[in-house]
Amino acid sequence: MLKKNIKVLVVDDHSILREGLCEILKKEEGITVLGSCSNGQEAVNLVKNTKPDVIIMDIEMPVMDGVTAARVIKQDFPDIEIIMLSMYDDDKNVFESIKAGATGYMLKNVPREELLKSVKVASTGESLIDPSIARKLIDKFVYMSKESGKEEEEKSILSKRELEVLKLVASGNSNIEISKKLFISDKTVKAHMRAIFKKLKVADRAQAVGEAMKMGLF
């Protein structure tokens, strides 16, 4: 369920971008910007006092990078959702971010509407990965799976319907959007997600997508 007032912290070492993000977020009804800072260490310190719902985090920053900061914050505050906002779409940064506990991964050229959507989606505990990144990673890991000859064996881990649900998650769809596309209820989508988490031994949607990609499930 979408929160009435989503509290956001913005973390980026480029002051112009940081201030621009804050202005975009401040103009959106239902979002409150608690503050901003320029590196991961400052974010770790700020979180203790501000308790944001969502953090928008750059990756490459001085003092402490975004991935390290995300890992530290999620250890102490697992309910805080973190969206990595980066210039880089390489799989290393994406996987490291997901392993650190990030809920979403978006590129810095993301349209304003998609950025706001990612914040709202993240506040509900759901993940949103930039579609261009998801497609790139899916293509890569399908190829790797075929090369290793393990594709069919690994696909048996999830049912056909669970794979359909997870592919839609990887493409950035929320539970409601998935339910409409597959003509099933929101409760059924949630049940499928719980089954996926259990089978893949993960705790959230972003980790499920990352694990599925690593295993070559799609």
7-17 burial, b at 16+ Cβ within 10 Å, e below that, comes to bbbbbbbeeee
23 with 93, same domain: the answer is: yes
Same domain, 117 and 149: no
pLDDT in tens, 85-123: 999 888 788 888 988 999 889 999 999 999 999 999 999
Q: Is 180 a residue whose pLDDT tops 90? A: yes
Is the backbone of residue 215 left (phi > 0), alpha (psi -120 to 50) or beta? alpha
pTM of the model: 0.70
Q: Are residues 83 and 151 in the same domain?
A: no
Clarify whether residues 44 and 95 are in a common domain: yes
On the question of pLDDT at 147 being above 80, the answer is no
CATH label of the domain that carries residue 205: 1.10.10.10
- pLDDT surpassing 90 at residue 29: yes
- pLDDT bracket for residue 32 (50, 70, 90): very high
Give residue 107's Cα distance to chain centre. Answer: 11
State whether 87 and 143 are in the same domain: no
Residues 120 and 142 in one domain: no
Residue 38 domain boundaries: 6-125
pLDDT at 50: 94
Average the pLDDT over 35-62 and give the result: 96
Do residue 118 and residue 18 come from a single domain? yes
> Residue 1: inside a domain, yes or no?
no
Show which of 90, 125, 160 is a domain's final residue.
Answer: 125
Residue 118 lies in a domain: yes
* Domain annotation covers residue 155: yes
Q: Output b/e per residue, 63-84; b: 16+ Cβ within 10 A.
A: ebbbbbbbbbbbeebeebbbbb
Q: What are the pLDDT digits (tens) for 168-179?
A: 998 888 999 999
Cα gap 195→117, rounded to integer Å: 26
Q: How many domains does the chain have?
A: 2
